[in-house]
Structure 1
Amino acid sequence: MTRTSAPLLTVTLVLGTCPPERRTVARQITGSSSALVSIERSDLGESAHAEVDDAIEAIVRHPLAPRHLVLDCGSTVRPVDAVSAVLGHQDEAFLDAVVTVVDAAHLLRDLHDDEYVTHEDDDGDTVYTARSMITVEHIEYADTIAVAGRRGVTHAQLAVLLALLSHLNPTALTRLVEPVATRPRATPGVSATAGSRQPLARYRDSPFDLERFTTSPGWIAMLNGEHRPWVDHERVTTLRFESPRPMHPERLLACFDGPIESGDLGQVIRTAGFLALATRASRVGVFQHVGSMIDLEPTSFETSDPGAPLGQELVITGIDLDEAAITAALHGCTLTDAELLAGPAAWARYPDAFTPWSSTHEH
């Protein structure tokens, strides 16, 4: 059978860590003229490629199947994994939108979920991924964020949550999912429209764009000088920390495990960026923090590369942040004058509790 005679299959991905709200929105998108397939993952967090492949192939092979497929992705499916799986079928299907459903009543709890899912990497080693990291990735890589589960959430709380979502992903279109019988009401405290409340029939004014997808996280936009949230609130802040000095690993962990995690400096939701650790002075790392999860992975950059990030380039997003205190705390994690003068041989002897890097594990 020649597939070129049939129109390309349109695929919409629906992500989210709260199954009831995600499934409700997926059914809304599906309506009566689309096919809905659920990808239920176990807690092993393995790749979703096989399930995405099977779903697309089943619809493509069926001559009477709808030309629009909605994939309801399970709670542990990661956006990059799902998107790459769909893009692998470019001769048969094209990706229309990545929709993330968040539960407003539990969003902050989900961003602090300290449980982990596990899977094995290509070398057979066990890899741990925090559920909070999956939640923030769902938000950061979405085309559209559908805000559901608003029962019990006040207008003031909703205004802060909408601004937080916009700071985490400044390019996403935000839609409030209304109960059927609810009349739309304005949300006080939001300085820009939070998105249309019309039915969720169309999610983007433009098709999926891979370049937008890869640069959509707010921390990347901030580092690129393009962080312009279209929903803002005085309580929500995104700040950039820079320093050419390497970080002392013990003081860095003490800072995040102490004043940052305790909330003494405000509610830090997300920290990410490039980091130079004194004990690994030859290579640039990618630092990730959300909730109580802290991770540092190597990039392909040697610190001596002409195009490598210089020192620390970290982006911090949170609520009621004490910007001056956070900046001072992070400066306190960098090497002192005396430590700098001691040189890399001395730095290599500092205590370092971060996961060891392998030469094959790079971002």
Structure 2
Amino acid sequence: MTDSRTPLVLLSGLHRRLAAQVGTALLDRPGTVVVHHDVSQLGQGAVLRTQRHRTGNAVAEQATAVELAHGCLSCTLRLDLLPLLRALARRNDVTRVVLHLDPALEPEHLCWSVANVLLDDETGGTPETAGDWVRVEGVLAVVEAASWLDDVTGGDDLADRGLAATLDDDRTLAQVALSQVAFADAVVLAGPPADAWAGARLDAVLDRLVPGVPRADVRVHPDRLLTAVPAGARRGRISTAHDPLLAGQPPLGEDCGVQLVRFSPDRPLHPGRLHEALDLLLDGVVCSRGRLWLASQHDRAVWLESAGQGLRVGDAGPWLATLDDAAWADVDPQRRVAAALRWDPVHGDRHTELVVLTHRQPALAITAALHAAALTDEEWTAGPDAWRRYPDPFGTWHEDPCEASSPTDDSSTHVTNREERS
């Protein structure tokens, strides 16, 4: 069936100028409009929106100051960007929309908003989303080869680089830069690496972080890169805490000190010893992500992710073993199959699977520290009632009620910030 919705390309990166350069190249296709929201003054309640399109041999640009009373990213999306996508898609002279995202906007968040946030109803109209009018053709991430690996392994906040959207925007540079690349369907490399060794290390990291995702030098026209995006690419699909952690068949061997380390014990983890072991993931590690079977929270999966020197732990919803038959119908089929393959007659689908992308921390040191957090024979024998009484240093869950905040999956499993360490 032909999809009549207007193609949408998302363009992200830490450097506005480099991303704008790629956006300008995409204007070569007639009917393309490039939209950029500069949210650097969002804290003062203002956003500068720029639209560019080609008219003959020239590029016309229109800048509009958008006032937002609430001064938040969600309001920017709901009140201006998402309605603008619908308006552009309705125009006969627009055949493609390119969103050049400000560094403070993460593409996965935006794709979730496009698909899920209801636009203000028109008079007599039916509630709809921007996704009813546009479809994601591809997500491009622009990476400055000389600095990206340092950025994603460091401890700077967005505010340290002048990129924070608001005064209380405490996200780290590593968190945002990694999310941009991890969600991308193709990667644009801008500029040379510092040297040949740095270039080889960057390639090794990208091969493992986004296996199968095409990448090319910024001098290659981005439309060629979009054409190379494979048929099975995510194209805006939102990830969940129960997706495969090694999708795309990344290389598992070591290269230039870069390696993927998989940790999957057959027992739950002691919360206190795990808390002590986590510091190892904040030094010499690019990122880590995975599901944890925490002994003190026997009925719920725990999600862990780290980026550079920052780490977050959150709720990933109930284990399937705790659900009644009616609730199983709402579970993603891929998750049900994965659970069936590992099902234990006593503990069901409870398990731990953590994948760590290291570039300096030895793999043996990581696995040794994490295995020390698994329950001992004596603790294992004590059983779940005893496990639930273990002191839990992770504290209570924090849930953010803000609109258009976190993406959720079809089974109502979601990740919320529980603990942040840096």
Question: TM-score scaled by structure 1?
Answer: 0.76
Unaligned runs of 5+ in 1: 1-6, 121-125, 179-197
Q: Tell me what 1:241 maps to.
A: 263
Q: Tell me what 1:296 maps to.
A: 313
Secondary structure of the residue that 1:243 maps to in structure 2?
Answer: coil
Distance 1:237 1:140 in 2: 16
Q: Tell me what 1:134 maps to.
A: 176
Q: Tell me what 2:83 maps to.
A: 54
Q: Does the 8 A contact of 2:317 with 2:413 survive in 1?
A: no
Matches within 5 A, 1:1-363: 8-31=5-28, 33=30, 34-41=32-39, 42=42, 44-46=72-74, 49-50=77-78, 51-63=80-92, 65-87=93-115, 88-111=129-152, 112-115=154-157, 129-150=171-192, 153-178=194-219, 198-202=220-224, 203-205=226-228, 211=234, 214=237, 221-223=244-246, 226-229=248-251, 233-257=255-279, 259-262=280-283, 267-302=284-319, 304-305=321-322, 307=339, 309-357=349-397, 362-363=414-415
Report how far residue 140 of structure 1 moved: 1.0
Distance 2:262 2:275 in 1: 19
Report how far residue 36 of structure 1 moved: 1.1
Q: 1:99 to 1:206 in 2, by over 3 A?
A: closer
2:134 partner amino acid: A
Q: What's the % identity of the aligned pairs?
A: 24
Secondary structure of the residue that 2:296 maps to in structure 1?
Answer: helix
Report how far residue 59 of structure 1 moved: 2.0
Question: Residue deviations 1:214-270, cap 9 Å, x none?
Answer: 4889x955445x52359983432112111122222232222222x4434xxxx2111
Report how far residue 167 of structure 1 moved: 0.8
Q: 1:86 to 1:303 in 2, by over 3 A?
A: closer
Q: Which moved more, 1:111-120 or 1:273-282?
A: 111-120
Question: Residue deviations 1:84-129, cap 9 Å, x none?
Answer: 3445445533221100111222212321344278999xxxxx9964
Report how far residue 57 of structure 1 moved: 2.8
Secondary structure of the residue that 1:146 maps to in structure 2?
Answer: strand
Aligned-pair Cα RMSD in Å: 3.5
Report how far residue 288 of structure 1 moved: 0.8
Q: Does the 8 A contact of 2:290 with 2:304 survive in 1?
A: yes
Q: Tell me what 1:191 maps to.
A: none
Report how far residue 168 of structure 1 moved: 0.8
Q: Does the 8 A contact of 1:222 with 1:240 survive in 2?
A: no
Question: Residue deviations 1:288-334, cap 9 Å, x none?
Answer: 11112222222233273483643211111121442222211110112
Question: TM-score scaled by structure 2?
Answer: 0.66
Secondary structure of the residue that 1:304 maps to in structure 2?
Answer: helix
Distance 1:131 1:347 in 2: 37
Q: 1:56 to 1:231 in 2, by over 3 A?
A: farther
Q: 1:296 to 1:253 in 2, by over 3 A?
A: same
Distance 1:354 1:284 in 2: 14
2:99 partner amino acid: L
2:294 partner amino acid: L
Q: Tell me what 1:193 maps to.
A: none
Q: Tell me what 1:183 maps to.
A: none
2:84 partner amino acid: A
Report how far residue 14 of structure 1 moved: 0.3
Q: 1:210 to 1:322 in 2, by over 3 A?
A: closer
Aligned residues: 324
Q: 1:232 to 1:240 in 2, by over 3 A?
A: closer
Q: 1:170 to 1:29 in 2, by over 3 A?
A: same
Distance 2:275 2:321 in 1: 25
Report how far residue 28 of structure 1 moved: 2.2
Unaligned runs of 5+ in 2: 44-71, 116-128, 323-335, 340-347, 400-411, 416-422
Q: 1:162 to 1:221 in 2, by over 3 A?
A: farther
Distance 2:25 2:200 in 1: 24
Distance 2:91 2:112 in 1: 23
Q: Does the 8 A contact of 2:252 with 2:259 survive in 1?
A: no
Distance 1:207 1:162 in 2: 19
Q: Does the 8 A contact of 1:47 with 1:77 survive in 2?
A: no
Distance 1:320 1:81 in 2: 30
Report how far residue 142 of structure 1 moved: 0.5
Q: Does the 8 A contact of 1:171 with 1:216 survive in 2?
A: no
Secondary structure of the residue that 2:103 maps to in structure 1?
Answer: coil
